[in-house]
Structure 1
């Protein structure tokens, strides 16, 4: 009985792991392409053509608490004020890639 229960639990654990969606790492190179197509019109070079002080530069991201993957992902997914929501237009992976690109570029000074 104990062996049977162990075998069932082991099988269940293996089955659960087999069907879990893997965590995908963000790809900044892919994010650069997506950013160029979807974001650059308003944010070319890390600027903001709508609200000039809310750039994507490191100091502004820190000032407005936008200097994390989670904050940028939330903003891109849901939009805010003049910025449209991209949830439904871009996949979760594409949004993560854009966030990684923005943070990478902010750290480099958008050079």
Structure 2
């Protein structure tokens, strides 16, 4: 018979594995979508965000890691409260977030970074 503590550990590990697998599926899906569709150079920052970011960050949230959202408090907490820092993250990616340097122009990255900051200021309304 399995003890309650052992069962909790098994469930915790299983949940972690499923979460990581889901994150990988989302990342792969985003890459596949981005590879087959290009964002027009004339797209607005909101359109660039919608086409490239909203899959994980709809309304400034984060469907993969809840705490690493695009709300003003989280942006400040993680040092992402400037266009330069957000642009660097979008350009190069980090962790499970993919890099967009090969998918978006430098101007689009800067514009979408400014868009994120402006939306955070109004709490993504």
TM band (smaller chain): 0.7 to 0.9
Asked if residue 58 in structure 1 is aligned to residue 72 in structure 2, the reply is yes
Q: How many residues align?
A: 83
Question: What TM-score results when the alignment is normalised by the length of structure 1?
Answer: 0.73
Structure (1 or 2) with the larger CA radius of gyration: 1
* Distance in 2 of aligned mates of 1:66 and 1:47: 15
* Distance in 1 of aligned mates of 2:47 and 2:104: 12
Q: Where do 1:66-85 residues align within 5 Å?
A: 66-85=80-99
SS at the partner of 1:53? coil
SS at the partner of 2:95? coil
The structure with higher relative contact order (CA 8 Å, sep 6+) is: 1
**Any stretches of 5+ residues in structure 2 without a counterpart?**
1-42
Contact 1:50 1:82 in 2 (8 A): no
Question: What TM-score results when the alignment is normalised by the length of structure 2?
Answer: 0.65
**Any stretches of 5+ residues in structure 1 without a counterpart?**
1-28
Cα deviations across residues 79-109 of structure 1 (Å, max 9, x unaligned)? Answer: 0111000001100000011001100000000
Asked if residue 33 in structure 1 is aligned to residue 47 in structure 2, the reply is yes
Give the root-mean-square deviation of aligned CA atoms: 1.0
* Distance in 2 of aligned mates of 1:81 and 1:63: 17
Match of 2:111 in 1: 97
* Distance in 1 of aligned mates of 2:88 and 2:65: 18
